Structures are given as C-alpha cells and as structure tokens.
C-alpha cells in the first residue's frame, strides 16, 4: 500500500506530545513492513531548524484562503535511520514562529487559518509530487479538514478517486473549535455547516469534520475507543462516534524502541537489560539523584513523573499527596514537566518546602525524561483520562514500576497486582479506580509496601514489565489490517 501520513507534529522535527512520537514510529514501522510511506508536516521554525538534513523540492503552490491566494512551497527530508520521505509545507507567515500552536499558553489567534492552509496543502502535495496514494492518514484536529477536502474538492480527479481516508484521534479534548465565520477560510460550501458535518453548537469543529468525513477512524487504545463513545469521555462528540462505531477502532500505540531501549540508550549513564537490571539500575538512580540535586540515598524510594502539566494528567492530585509519603516513607519525588502556570507554581513551592525530597524541572528535556525513566523506582500517572499514554510503557521497559489510574491506554497496558496476576506472571504495576486523592494514596501504599517488604515480588514485576513487547511492528500490522478492512468496505 502507498500511505501518506499527515500530522502536525513529528519527532525529531517538532514535538509537544505523544503525537510526535507516533508520527515518527508508525510510518517507519509501516515502511519496514514493506509499504511505501511518506509523512507531511508544517514547516515550523523548530522543524526547519531541527538540525535534520532538509532540502527544497523546488515546488511552489497557491492555496485559496477566503479572498486571497496564499503562497507555499515544499521542503523534503527523511525520517532518521530510514528512507521514509518527510515533506514540510513552508509558509513563513503561518509557521515561522516560536511555538507550534501557541506562545505562553495563548493559542495563536489564526490557528484555524494556519491548519486550513496545511490541510489543503496536503491534498495539493499529492498532485504536485505525483504521489500515488492508497491511504491518506490524518491526525487530530489540525488535519481534520483533510478527509473533507478529499471528499468534497478532490474526489472527482482520477488521482484521488480511490484514496481511503483514515483519521486518528490522539486526544478527544482538543477539537479545533472556531467561530462560524472561519468556515469562509475553508473554501467549503456553507451546506456543510450543519450538525451532520462540520457544525458544533453554532461553531466550526475541525475534529468533528474529520470524524464525519473520514472513511475510517482510529484512536490510540482499545479502552479509549470504548470510553469516547460515552458521555463522560466523548467531549460532546460521543454521539458522532457511536454513529460511526462500525468504522472506529482502538489500536494501542507502540514504543519507538530505537529511542527508548535501556540497553542502547545513550542518554542514560549506564545501559542495562533484564539480565543485569538489578545491578545497573541503581547506578542510574544515583545519577538521577545527582542530576536533580537530591540526597544520593539508595534506600529512599524515587517516584518519577514526566508529562504535560495539564489538568488531564492529574498532577494536582500528586501535589496533594506528596508530603504524606515524604513524611511516612522518605519518598523522593522527581517531576519533569511544563504547562499550566498554577501547577508549576505549586510544584515549585513544594520543592522549596521539601528540598531533600522534591526536585522539579519545569521545562521540556528529552535527556532528563530518559534519566527519570531509567533511575526511578516507580512512575506515577494519575491521568483523569489517557488516550494511550507512552510514559507508562517507557517505565515498564526501563524496569520502573507504574502506578496509574485505570483509564484508557493505562488500563490496556498496566496489569495490576492481584493474587491471580502474580500467579500467572502478568502483573506489572499498580492501578487505582477513582481519580482522586484516596485512590492515588491507596495505590501508592500498595506499591510502597511491596517495594519495602516483598523484594521478590518487586523484582518479578520489574522483569515482567521489561519482557513485554511494545514494538511498533505489532501495532503497525493492526493499522494495516484496519486500512484493508476499510478499503474493502469502500
Ligand atoms: P501526551 O501526548 O498527552 O502529552 P503521552 O504520554 O502520549 O502524553 O506522550 C508524552 C510524550 O512527551 C512522552 O514521550 C513524554 O516523555 C514526553 N514529554 C512530556 N513532557 C515532557 C517534558 N517536560 N520533557 C521531556 N519529555 C516530555
């Protein structure tokens, strides 16, 4: 199959979250399985300056945006360690900025226009580059217009006739909702501005647009696929998703094992695998304590956290329980994250109050993220919802025991400790049911008690986690099966 993957984030060009990891790993895995795959992203300043080898394709084009023609051009690169082409849509007025979507927590006011341009450029690039495409795979609201443009504006041309559109939801909460006059920017007829297609309570909704036009829809874990069809998790689009359930599937993300593998990871001080984890991992713990300027104590349990500081991630719950576990068990908390200012402030205050037990780093830092995964004893993810989550999988691979809320992809990857799961050697972490302080405290208590009093079980959990195969080959095959299924329906 020939696959074009349209995305607003891509490692190592531009990243704010997990979408960037998926956008690199999935196309590479599809290509390794023998399918011709390419990726297209906006030519952000960060991407152009990412240090990757990038060259001009020598193609300029115009996109009509309401009453003007906006000029763009195409650059080309490759995914690292592969021959997968990456195309970058260059348009300096839209993308030559510091952030991808916002600056200092403030969304760019022309975000709709920026991604209208990009989505239409994706369709134009197919023609301009002479690509023969079977599957056009778009992601999240930023490329939500891609399936609509395909059906409404391009389908009648031979090159586009048989293209199957697939759209993946990485997070239902971000929908790309804009005031209704932005419909003019899309160049699409007002006849589509109805609740059946693009309208959402009087506004334009780009994720909804994708969900109604795409031939097939996926999301990033089986449990999240079920959850988003309910009122509690559907963010007011659960009805749309239920109406498309025959064409909706949850496929668990894999892990990019080129980047996340403790036996080859150059970002950690000591490499290790399941054979020497118990000797080597403590050295990573010491290095982490040094790096974060905490006392180098091997007997203090280290609990790590990496992630966006947003209410979704439940880090506010962690801030409420930190003092209790410091007082009772001398826990060392290490937090790496950036996001909501009030949360950053709260974490900063706690770190000042407990300098020997709490270290926070309020930036985005890949190296520290790797060191935390390698050096922590436990990793907490109390997400209120979690479409898939990557860090709990990284934790397992690095022999760090996850403590997670039972939701979405966390449910699909973490098998909680019970007598049965211990007996059949599937237990790999701790899971709590209610996303509140009591739930979180309950799970931390379980984990710390096992860590302190039952080392044999603890070691078993580590080995079970490290042995689980999260490679992308498996998930990529599921995507291929889904592509085929939707193709057959068409
Ligand atoms: P989301 O996409 O909701 O942010 P995921 O768990 O799917 O959450 O993916 C988050 C990715 O971003 C992971 O690879 C994680 O390691 C990384 N990440 C998040 N915050 C930071 C940070 N402050 N520094 C380094 N990496 C981070």
Q: 119 in a domain, yes or no?
A: yes
- The best mutation among 25, 308, 364 to test binding of ligand 1, ranked by most ligand atoms within 8 Å of the C-beta, falls on 308
One domain for residues 145 and 293: no
Confirm or reject: Cβ of 365 under 6 Å from ligand 1: yes
One domain for residues 57 and 200: yes
Residue 363 CA, ligand 1 centroid: distance in Å: 11
What CATH number is associated with residue 8?
3.40.50.2000
One domain for residues 405 and 363: yes
Predicted pLDDT of residue 256:
87
One domain for residues 230 and 84: yes
One domain for residues 443 and 483: no
Q: 46 in a domain, yes or no?
A: yes
Confirm or reject: Cβ of 337 under 6 Å from ligand 1: yes
Q: 132 in a domain, yes or no?
A: yes
Distance in angstroms (rounded) separating the CA atoms of residues 84 and 10: 13
Give how many domains the chain has, as a whole number. Answer: 2
One domain for residues 479 and 461: no
Q: Which domain holds residue 158?
A: 2-254+473-489
Residue 260 CA, ligand 1 centroid: distance in Å: 13
Confirm or reject: Cβ of 395 under 6 Å from ligand 1: no
One domain for residues 235 and 353: no
Helix, strand, coil % over all residues of the chain, rounded to 5: 45, 20, 35
One domain for residues 208 and 282: no
Predicted pLDDT of residue 75:
98
Distance in angstroms (rounded) separating the CA atoms of residues 149 and 124: 10
Q: 238 in a domain, yes or no?
A: yes
Confirm or reject: Cβ of 338 under 6 Å from ligand 1: yes
Whole-angstrom CA distances from 73 to 55, 67, 202 are: 11, 20, 34
Q: What is the pLDDT along the chain (490 residues), one digit of tens a residue?
A: 999 999 999 999 999 888 999 999 999 999 999 999 999 999 999 999 999 999 999 999 999 999 999 999 999 999 998 999 999 999 999 999 999 999 987 999 999 999 999 999 999 999 999 999 999 999 999 999 999 999 999 999 999 999 999 999 999 999 999 999 999 999 999 999 999 999 999 999 999 999 999 999 999 999 999 999 999 999 999 999 999 999 999 999 999 888 899 999 999 999 999 999 999 999 999 999 999 999 999 999 999 999 999 999 999 999 999 999 999 999 999 999 999 999 999 999 999 999 999 999 999 999 999 999 999 999 999 999 999 999 999 999 999 999 999 999 999 999 999 999 999 999 999 999 999 999 999 999 999 999 999 999 999 999 999 999 999 999 999 999 999 999 999 8
Predicted pLDDT of residue 105:
76
Q: 263 in a domain, yes or no?
A: no
One domain for residues 239 and 183: yes
One domain for residues 234 and 104: yes
Q: 269 in a domain, yes or no?
A: no
Q: What DSSP element (H or E) covers 402?
A: strand 401-405
Predicted pLDDT of residue 241:
98
Which atom of ligand 1 is closest in space to residue 313's alpha carbon? 3
One domain for residues 240 and 354: no
Distance in angstroms (rounded) separating the CA atoms of residues 350 and 1: 53
Closest CA to 429 of 409, 372, 437: 409
Coil, strand or helix at 101: coil
Where residue 150 falls (left for φ over 0; alpha for ψ -120 to 50; beta otherwise) is: alpha
One domain for residues 351 and 411: yes
């Amino acid at each position: 199959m020939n696959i074009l993957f349209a995305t607003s984030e891509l490692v190592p060009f531009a990243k704010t979250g997990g979408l960037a990891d998926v956008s690199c790993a999935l196309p590479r895995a599809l290509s390794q399985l023998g399918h011709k795959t390419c990726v297209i992203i906006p030519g952000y300043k960060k991407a152009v300056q990412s240090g990757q080898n990038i060259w001009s394709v020598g193609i300029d084009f115009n996109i009509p945006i309401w009453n003007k023609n906006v000029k763009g051009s195409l650059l080309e690169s490759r995914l690292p360690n592969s021959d997968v082409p990456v195309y970058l849509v260059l348009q300096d007025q839209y993308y030559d900025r510091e952030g991808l979507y916002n600056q200092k927590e403030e969304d760019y006011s022309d975000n709709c226009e920026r991604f209208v341009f990009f989505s239409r450029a994706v369709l134009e690039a197919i023609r301009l580059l002479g690509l023969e495409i079977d599957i056009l795979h778009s992601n999240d609201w930023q490329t939500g217009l891609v399936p609509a443009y395909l059906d409404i504006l391009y389908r009648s041309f031979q090159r586009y006739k048989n293209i199957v559109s697939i759209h993946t939801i990485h997070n239902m909460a971000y929908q790309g909702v804009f005031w209704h006059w932005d419909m003019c920017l899309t160049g699409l007829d007002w006849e589509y501005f109805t609740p059946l297609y693009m309208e959402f309570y009087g506004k334009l909704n780009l994720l909804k647009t994708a969900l109604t036009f795409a031939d097939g829809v996926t999301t990033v874990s089986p449990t999240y696929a079920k959850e988003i069809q309910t009122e509690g998790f559907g963010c007011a689009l659960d009805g749309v998703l239920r109406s498309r359930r025959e064409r909706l599937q949850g496929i668990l993300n894999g892990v990019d094992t080129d980047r996340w593998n403790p036996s080859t990871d150059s970002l950690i001080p000591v490499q290790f695998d399941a054979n020497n984890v118990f000797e080597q991992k403590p050295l990573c713990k010491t290095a982490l304590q040094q790096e974060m300027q905490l006392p180098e104590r091997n007997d203090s349990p280290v609990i790590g956290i990496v992630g966006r500081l947003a209410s979704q991630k439940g880090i506010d719950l962690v801030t409420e329980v930190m003092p209790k576990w410091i007082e009772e068990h001398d826990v060392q908390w290490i937090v790496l994250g950036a996001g909501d200012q009030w949360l950053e402030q709260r974490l900063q205050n706690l770190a000042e109050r407990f300098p020997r037990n709490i270290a926070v780093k309020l930036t985005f830092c890949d190296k520290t993220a790797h060191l935390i995964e390698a050096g922590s004893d436990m990793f907490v993810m109390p997400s209120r919802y979690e479409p898939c989550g990557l860090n709990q999988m990284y934790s397992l691979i690095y022999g760090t025991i996850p403590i997670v809320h039972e939701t979405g992809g966390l449910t699909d990857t973490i098998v909680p400790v019970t007598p049965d799961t211990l007996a059949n050697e599937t237990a790999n972490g701790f899971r709590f049911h209610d996303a509140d302080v009591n739930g979180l405290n309950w799970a931390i208590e379980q984990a710390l008690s096992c860590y302190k009093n039952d080392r044999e079980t603890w070691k078993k959990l580590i080995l079970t986690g490290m042995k689980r195969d999260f490679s992308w080959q498996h998930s990529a095959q599921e995507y291929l099966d889904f592509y085929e299924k939707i193709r057959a329906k068409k």
